[in-house]
Structure formats: structure tokens, C-alpha cells
Amino acid sequence: MHKIKVRINGRDFEDEVDSRLLLVHYIRQKARLTGTHVGCDTGNCGACTIIFNGKTIKSCLMLAVQANGADMTTVEGLAKNGLHPIQEAFMDRFAIQCGYCTPGMMLSACSLLQTNPQPNEAEIREAIEGNLCMCTGYQQIVEAIQYAAEKTRK
């Protein structure tokens, strides 16, 4: 067992964890933030994407002990006073079907817009290439990210 301290969505957590516990399972089970989804446990689908110390990662590829001292944002941390522009855009542009990929997509989009507030379509597609969606065909997701970029520039 290992003692870890992390910050998730501005809240501090301190726990003892098994050395084999994946970060995605820590987030869901210990922090009780179930918006981060478990899809493949192999890093292929992106459903578990979070923002980790300012960069997107797939939380199924990291052990919780490796996150000691980290600052993380999950989909629950996007909304502060009302919905985040990314969340609004996904709703307004019908970018949500089954919703399983949505949290990871939103965090990838949020990370992109933090570093590139005016991305073109190719840059958006590159930013979400690690997030698989079986429902939307991606066009609505790309349009939602473009719309969120417009809204945040105003």
C-alpha cells in the first residue's frame, strides 16, 4: 500500500492505495467521480481521458501511485457556475449520442482550446484522434468544438 495526495477538480484527496490500482479506478472508486469512464483499459478508446497537470492523459494507462502530487481535472470539474462552453456546445450541436465517449472528448477539446483558442478543423481532429466514438461519426463533435471556440472568443 502507498499513501498518495492528489488534487482533483480543486479538491484535495489523500488515500492509501494498492500499488496496482489504475488511476481511472482511483478516480471512480475512491474519489467517486464516475464521469471518467472505463472503456478498454488499454489506452485505445480515450473514454478515461482527464487533464493531468495541464495535459490530457488516458487515466487507464497510469497507476494511482504515479499520480501522487498531481493536479487533475475530470469532466465534473469543467462546470463551475453553470455549464462550461464545451458542455454547452456539445449539447447545442448534438455531439452526444450514447454519451460514453463524451467526457473524454470534452476534456480533449478543453485542453485544445486552452492552448489553441482558434483551432481549424484539422487541428480539432488531431486533438481528438485518441478518443473513439462509435455513434456520431465525429462531424457533430468537430462542429461542437468549433462552436465552443467561437463562444469562448466572444
pTM: 0.91
pLDDT, residue 154, reads 65
- Delimit the domains of the chain by residue range: 2-76, 85-153
Domain 85-153: CATH superfamily, name plus number: [2Fe-2S]-binding domain (1.10.150.120)
pLDDT, residue 81, reads 85
Nearest to 114 by CA among 79, 85, 144, 81: 85
Which CATH class for the 2-76 domain?
Answer: alpha beta
Q: Which residues of the chain have pLDDT under 70?
A: 154
Q: What angle do CA 72, 136, 115 make, to 5 degrees?
A: 35
- Pairing between strand 49-52 and 2-8? unpaired
- What number of other Cβ atoms are within 10 A of residue 88's Cβ? 16
98 CB contacts (<8 Å, ≥6 apart)? 134, 135
**Torsion angle of the four alpha carbons 21, 24, 30, 33, in this order, in degrees rounded to the nearest 10:** 180
